[in-house]
């Protein structure tokens, strides 16, 4: 890219506030600390590199009874899903809106997940950033309307 092209690209990137999106590599998340979030979808970004939603926690959020006993769908990646659910804790903050990084659109399609809509209530089990610097979760499971979607890998 030429110097002029680089300068124009940099100027355009800075001229449109809110259009850049921070993408966190998966290694930025703490897989040893699964967290639970239930709330209302405030915004949806159904695009690559992965779908994202902003979720406002439900007032009085608590871990649901029987979370560890929920049936989980089979995925290509094998791991101890029941053990992970048994270790799940509440998100550390309920006074902020959480950005939830879902899966790439091809995986969302493989699971037959319809694009989420603003106002819907969803449940997420996932992982926050290791440094806990932002209210961000990488989703392991999406619970929606009585269905469970495993987002680590494709359906088995």
Burial of 107 (0-12, 13-18, 19+ CB in 10 A): buried
In a domain, 6, yes or no: no
pLDDT in tens, 43-92: 999 999 999 999 999 999 999 999 999 999 999 999 999 999 999 999 99
Distance CA 97, CA 106 (A): 26
Sign of CA dihedral 79, 26, 43, 155: negative
What is the span of the domain harbouring residue 105? 22-150
Report if residue 43 sits inside a domain: yes
Comparing CA positions, the residue from 131, 132, 130, 151 lying closest to residue 141 is 151
- CATH number assigned to the domain comprising residue 44: 2.40.50
Q: 34: which strand partners?
A: 127
99: in domain: yes
Could you tell me what percent of the chain has a pLDDT over 70?
Answer: 83
Number of domains in the chain: 1
pLDDT of residue 28: 85
pTM for the model: 0.83
């Amino acid at each position: 890219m030429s110097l002029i092209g680089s300068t124009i690209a940099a100027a355009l990137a800075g001229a449109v506030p809110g259009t850049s999106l921070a993408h966190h590599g998966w290694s930025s998340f703490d897989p040893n600390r699964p967290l639970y979030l239930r709330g209302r979808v405030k915004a949806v970004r159904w695009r690559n590199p992965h779908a994202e939603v902003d979720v406002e926690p439900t007032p009085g959020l608590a871990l649901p009874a029987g979370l560890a006993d929920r049936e989980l769908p089979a995925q290509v990646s094998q791991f101890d899903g029941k053990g992970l659910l048994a270790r799940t804790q509440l998100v550390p903050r309920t006074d902020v809106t959480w950005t939830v990084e879902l899966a790439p659109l091809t995986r969302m399609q493989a699971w037959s997940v319809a694009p989420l809509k603003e106002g819907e209530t969803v449940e997420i089990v996932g992982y926050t950033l290791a440094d806990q610097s932002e209210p961000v979760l990488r989703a392991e499971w999406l619970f929606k309307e009585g269905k469970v979607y495993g987002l680590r890998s494709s359906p088995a």
